[in-house]
Amino acid sequence: MSLSVPEIKLTTAKTEYGRNKVALQPGKGLAGWIMLSAGKSLASVQLPSVDNAELMKHNKEDDCWILLFGTVYDITKYMEYHPGGIPELMRAAGTDAGDLFNQYHAWINYQNLLKACIVGPFRGNASKLPRPTNPIFEDNPATKSGNSEKSVTLDAHGFSITRPDPKTLALRANIGSLLPENVIIDTTSKKLRIVFRRYDSETISVTYEGYDWSDRSFTVKSVSPKQVNVAFPSEASLKDVRVLQSTVSLINDPHFYSVTVQSIDKLSHNTFKYVVKLPEALYLPIPTGHHLLLRVPGGLVERPFTPISTVGCLGSIEFFVKIYPDGALTQKLEGLSIGDTLEISDPIGRKDVQKVAQKAVHCLLLAAGTGITPMINVLRGRKHSRSADGLPDKLIWFNRTPNDIVLDVLPETANLDIVHCLSDFETIESGIDIGNCEVGRIRKEILRDSIRPNTTVFVCGPLAFNETAVKLLTELGVAAERLIMIWSKLAIPVTRCLSHHILPYTSRLQSPITAKSLLLIRSYASAGPQPPKLSKPRRVANRDSMYYVISIGVVAIGLTFAAIPAYRIFCEATAFGGTTQIAKDFDKIENMSRVEDRLIKVQFNADVPSSMQWNFKPLQDEIYVHPGETALAFYTAKNPTDKPIVGISSYNLTPFQAAYYFNKIQCFCFEEQILNPGEEVDLPVFFYIDPDYANDPNLEYLDHILLSYTFFEAKSNLKLPSPFDPANRPNAALPAAANKGIVATA
């Protein structure tokens, strides 16, 4: 029996309000297209007329023609400039795009936009042309999260999934890159689960239900820097697959998989190597420097572990585990046998450590204890690397005694100097020879001779070690961009150990947390020995500190929801004079470089005072933009009254610090707009975030911007709020402590 109901559809150009959510590539925005097409013909050929047969030939990404209202356009050169992404344009390749255009872009002056792409007039029968293809599932996959009017979509995060042939799903990044290590494919249950883990964005999960995906074999292959194909060779055709429900969601809590213990090898008196076998229906790559949570089935204790197996080894994973006498989890691991079951999570991490390692001229690796684990894959990636002056990389491994050193886990490489630094003096004096050795703990004298102007430093160890290392390296002149922190045990998974889930689980710190707070939280997550019992006054002090940290998290979350109402009050009440700045340096816009490892979520808000009778709202909730790239967003305004109304708008941003990096190329602010009775217009905001945003230490953990416009009825002597006056902060009416919370979570 055929199941040929709606084709599998994973993406659509429609937003909640029927408009694309846009994130444009650097140099590929509207300004870039205008500069490229001005006074030129970009069509591959110009013809006196085009018939059905000729139009249908040009239906490929590198040769794409469309019919729009009697004229044929060669849009091949325009593909990269389309805000909705290439897959959406390909739906109309070689056919009549008029209906799709009217559905999504009827307001656009296409004759002017595409005048450089004209091939010629259409002289055929449009009814005989193939219909534009549907995107692969009928409904845009979305997950309703608390608010039924809000949804998460793939296109909002710069991803799409299409079906290039009957047996293949094409996963594509419309912005940035997408490699096999950035995706997870899971068919271990009856659901198909696809996870996008790009380094510069939030983790997105797509789940399809209503069809038994279990035991469906598949292959994963990179076909371009932007596209990964997932093929299901055993399926007759994905057209016959019926999917009853599809959801897209942000991953805030880790997803766990059952794995089987394949081998256990003792490496030292308290160190073991565990090898676990993955299910065949699971594709789970683990990038260098990223870690997993590990737990026993049914257990409440989770601990982070960094695999030591080679990147891309998908059949099994190797872990380097140190057993502690009082370890809540490691004691359970010590009791496991071959064939027993463990549970591991999705990888956790946002940094492309391997890319940094491969590009580095010279590397210094500082590892303390089990902090050696992420360094193993860094060293594998650097195996054949040597600095320009011929000197090898250097590893300094800090341990307590020689018995804690496990040389068997280090990869073989001739381009590496290894120095051991041991803190247990008595053991060292016993005469054990371990080669090149230093005595004591990390200090400037050990580091100074290993640092050169082109050295990139990788640091991993306990929190106190990491903090000391950063302090010393900074004093020795190591620039922040050449200092890579790899956290082996951090507050990232720790919040899972706090059963109330007060602090949000995230793979990247979203707000500044003090060293004392991290030390406090770390005590709940350490896989090592628990601290000695404290006296009652000390325990009370620590308890109060913990409550303080948790209360900060609660306040920050609450202030996030308070930011928009507070901003609304501000915009309606203030009346300061000021003017806006419009970016006119098109050479800078065209040539600026995108900051790949920062992705900023720009949210949109619209307000009118009670005296203004317009309906005013954004046409998208949010878009994601890299510093150094352009983006296009839209608001809509409608006059529902029976009289003309003239409006004028002002805008502001939260956090205020971001305003100095937010540049508008085109916008409707501070310009009078007259709307006749019943008239409705779309208002564009074409903008970019200056690349220097990524270099401002005050914005290091700020990856969210709230852009808010307020429309006032234009009257004489009206003074609008200035977006560049620090006195006009949206949160100015809130206390100083609250301001810090809003800035950190906006």
- 16-25, 231-240, 325-334: which is most confident: 325-334
Mean pLDDT value across residues 617-625: 89
Tell me the domains of the chain and their CATH numbers. Answer: 30-128 (3.10.120.10), 155-250 (2.60.40), 256-345+486-515+522-532 (2.40.30.10), 353-484 (3.40.50.80), 573-745 (2.60.370.10)
The H-or-E segment that residue 40 falls in is none
- The mean pLDDT value of the chain amounts to 72
Q: What is the pLDDT of residue 101?
A: 72
Q: Which of 95-99, 290-294, 313-317 has maximum average pLDDT? A: 290-294
Distance CA 312, CA 303 (A): 22
For residue 512, is the peptide bond before it cis, meaning its omega torsion is within 30 degrees of 0?
no
With cut-offs at 50, 70 and 90, classify the pLDDT of residue 34. Answer: confident
- pLDDT value, residue 339: 94
pLDDT score at 644:
86
Q: Which pLDDT tens digit goes with each residue over 603-616?
A: 999 888 878 889 99
Task: Give residue 105's pLDDT.
Answer: 59
Distance of alpha carbon 335 from alpha carbon 664, whole angstroms: 61
Read off the pLDDT of each residue in 262-291 and give the average, rounded to a whole number: 89
Sign of the CA dihedral with 447 first, then 452, 453, and 458 last:
negative
233 — pLDDT class (breaks 50, 70, 90): confident
Q: 122 Cβ partners below 8 Å, 6+ apart?
A: 49, 50, 51, 55, 67, 70, 71, 72
Task: Work out the pLDDT band at 492, boundaries 50, 70, 90.
Answer: very low
697 — pLDDT class (breaks 50, 70, 90)? low
Helix (H) / strand (E) element for 650: namely strand 645-654
| Percent of the chain with pLDDT strictly greater than 90 | 15
Return the ∠ at Cα 109 (arms to 106 and 112), rounded to 5°.
150
Instruction: Say whether pLDDT at 226 is over 60.
Output: yes
Beta-sheet strands, E only, within 51-138: 59-60, 63-68, 71-74, 118-121
User: What number is the average pLDDT over the span 387-395?
Assistant: 75
pLDDT at 244: 52
More confidently predicted of 531 and 289: 289
Region 236-251: mean pLDDT is 68
Q: How far apart are CA 107 and CA 105, in angstroms?
A: 5
Give the CA dihedral 237, 241, 247, 249, nearest 10 degrees: -30
**pLDDT-derived band of residue 522, with 50, 70 and 90 as boundaries?**
very low
pLDDT (0 to 100) of residue 222: 92
Which has more confidence, 60 or 716? 60
Asked if residue 102 has pLDDT above 60, the reply is yes
Residue 232 C-beta-side C-alpha neighbours within 13 Å: 24
Q: Is the pLDDT of residue 698 over 70?
A: no
**Which residues lie below 8 Å from residue 254, measured CB to CB, with a gap of 6+?**
293, 345, 346, 348, 493, 496, 505
Res. 734 pLDDT band, cuts 50 70 90: very low
What mean pLDDT is predicted for residues 202-219? 81
pLDDT tier at 91, thresholds 50, 70, 90: confident
Going by pLDDT thresholds of 50, 70 and 90, the confidence category of residue 137 is very low
pLDDT band at 402 (very low <50, low <70, confident <90, very high): confident
Q: Which residue has the higher pLDDT, 540 or 117?
A: 117
| pTM, full prediction | 0.50
Give mean pLDDT, residues 229-243.
75
| Pick from 178-192, 283-297, 421-435, 554-568: least confident | 554-568
Predicted confidence at residue 79, as pLDDT, reads: 87
What pLDDT, on the 0 to 100 scale, is given for residue 414?
A: 61
Over 90: is that where the pLDDT of 721 sits?
A: no
Of 42-56, 64-78, 584-598, the poorest mean pLDDT is in 584-598
- How far is the C-alpha of 546 from the C-alpha of 301, rounded, in Å? 19
- Res 587: pLDDT: 64
Max mean pLDDT among 200-209, 261-270, 497-506 falls in 261-270
Cα–Cα distance, 425 to 54 (Å, whole number): 83
- CA–CA dist 387, 374 (Å, integer): 21
Q: Facing residues of 63 across strands? A: 60
Helix spans in 400-490 (H): 425-428, 444-448, 463-475
The pLDDT of residue 245: 59
Query: DSSP readout, 681-731?
Result: EEEEEEEEE-GGGGG-GGGTT--EEEEEEEEEE--TT--PPPTT-GGG-TT
Residue 80 has pLDDT above 50, yes or no: yes
DSSP β-ladder status, 316-322 and 341-345: unpaired
Q: Per residue in 555-583, pLDDT tens?
A: 443 443 334 333 333 333 332 322 334 44
Which pLDDT belongs to residue 485?
83
pLDDT at 403 (0 to 100): 80
Reply yes or no on whether the pLDDT at 401 is more than 90: no
User: Sorting pLDDT into bands at 50, 70 and 90, what band is 547?
Assistant: very low
The reported pLDDT for the residue numbered 472 is 92
Largest CA distance in the chain: 96
Please tell me which of 75-84, 244-253, 512-521 the model is most confident about, judged by mean pLDDT.
75-84
pLDDT at 184: 93
Average pLDDT over residues 718-729: 48
> Residue 238: what pLDDT?
72
In this predicted structure, the answer to whether residue 144 has a pLDDT above a threshold of 80 is: no
**Is pLDDT above 90 for 13?**
no
Whether pLDDT at 380 is above 50: yes
